[in-house]
Chains A and B, each alone.
Chain A
């Protein structure tokens, strides 16, 4: 899976659980500051991403995933 494909997959999840416009989702964007994803929605995003990409994202990793790019890199490394 390419980084663009992972980003597109995350954009789908973000739209579903947090109403984020897919056009706003890019690697440089911060989940909280740019995309307005609150902490409870982030939990939903993580669980949905685990299912979609077949990876495990432990809670202690989630705090390191500040931007969409961070999450893409983590998923890319795990899958």
Chain B
């Protein structure tokens, strides 16, 4: 049996860099930072007072009554999914809803709703807790809302693998189409947890940058001065489609999702394996699944979150798994770390890198770590032919996901 090919026919995003894919991509190529000070009153007492907040508020795009029923992570997932759906041209294609699936996850879920409703519970008692609380905070909420609004009936899934969620959701979409369970899967990730509790939790782990006086320079993967990640919020969604289906309807194809590799470390709940063993296996599996050679992967959109340990473990893994030829970038230097949406946004960046033959920069790489032994598109975009590229995502819990995209 010949293998089912899967291609990307739609993109959607709302991020700290822009309210859609085009503006986000323009900002990335220009090397702009989406990180800014948190000016809310609650931020004053926190050790971390910076974040990559959405460039465009959902309140301008969805009506007030609808927003009352949506967690912020659900609202932005809907915005990104509708963009991707519109971009794909599938709306009027006569697609059988039973052949349409959804795979959209979140790393943390509806925490803003949980915390806001707990405030109401404490202040006013249980009767004042919103009847919309549960569908707003349930982790499958974003996928369920997207499935509802698009009428998807082939299955709605929501994986959760912390900061690998967005990539794993896309990998699951690939599996669904290959397994014959769907012709089209709307896949991606969403996250919106900029609130004192998650910030305090990550801060207590000493995982976040405290460069509060210089927000735009705080996210600095591979730089000697890096001191942790910068939290971001946003959603990224891609439309995956069986290649023959896309060709038959004359769809515009961005790229091919050629393969995926998923592994688990079995090592530590939060620390990456020091030699990147799980990451190496994930990359090797993705390359094998994509049926490409190591040498074909000329570019990697790295996970690189700007933490001291994680950034270098990934370099070690890439050297072993690919060699010393790929040109890397870390777009989190600009977008911040979108947690469960990161793998989706970075997949979109990887896809557009292939389409436009340009690698977006890693900004703030002023003084590269001595252990950075691979070539990075430092501080300015690099024009180069990219027939095939890899996107890495790793998550607390020891999740490793690698995706290979190629020119269609």
Contacts and interface: CB of A to CB of B under 8 A. Distances in A.
Interface of A: 17-19, 40-41, 43-44, 47
B127 A19 contact: no
A40 B65 CA distance: 13
Nearest to A15: B65
B127 A47 contact: yes
A17 B128 contact: no
Interface in B61-92: 63-65, 68-69
Contacts of A18: 65
B75 to A, nearest CB: 16
**Closest 6 interchain pairs by CB?**
A19-B65, A43-B131, A40-B131, A40-B132, A47-B127, A44-B131
A69 B50 CA distance: 52
A19 B63 contact: yes
A44 B130 contact: yes
Contacts of B68: 17
Contacts of B128: 47
Nearest to A48: B128
A19 B64 CA distance: 8
A40 B63 CA distance: 18
Nearest to B65: A19
Given A19-B63, A19-B64, A44-B132, 11 more contacts: A17-B65, A17-B68, A18-B65, A19-B65, A40-B131, A40-B132, A41-B131, A43-B131, A44-B131, A47-B127, A47-B128
A11 to B, nearest CB: 14
13 contacts: A18-B65, A19-B63, A19-B64, A19-B65, A40-B131, A40-B132, A41-B131, A43-B131, A44-B130, A44-B131, A44-B132, A47-B127, A47-B128
Contacts of B69: 40
Contacts of A43: 131
A74 B227 CA distance: 62
A77 B126 CA distance: 26
Contacts of B132: 40, 44
Contacts of A40: 69, 131-132
Interface string B292-332: 00000000000000000000000000000000000000000
A26 B83 CA distance: 39
A44 B132 CA distance: 9
A40 B135 CA distance: 11
B133 to A, nearest CB: 10
Nearest to A41: B131
Contacts of A47: 127-128
Interface in B124-151: 127-128, 130-132
A40 B132 CA distance: 7
Contacts of A17: 65, 68
B276 to A, nearest CB: 47
Nearest to B63: A19
A40 B136 CA distance: 12
A47 B65 CA distance: 17
A16 B366 CA distance: 52
Nearest to B68: A17
Contacts of A41: 131
A43 B132 CA distance: 10
A41 B128 CA distance: 13
B307 to A, nearest CB: 41
A41 B64 CA distance: 14
Contacts of A44: 130-132
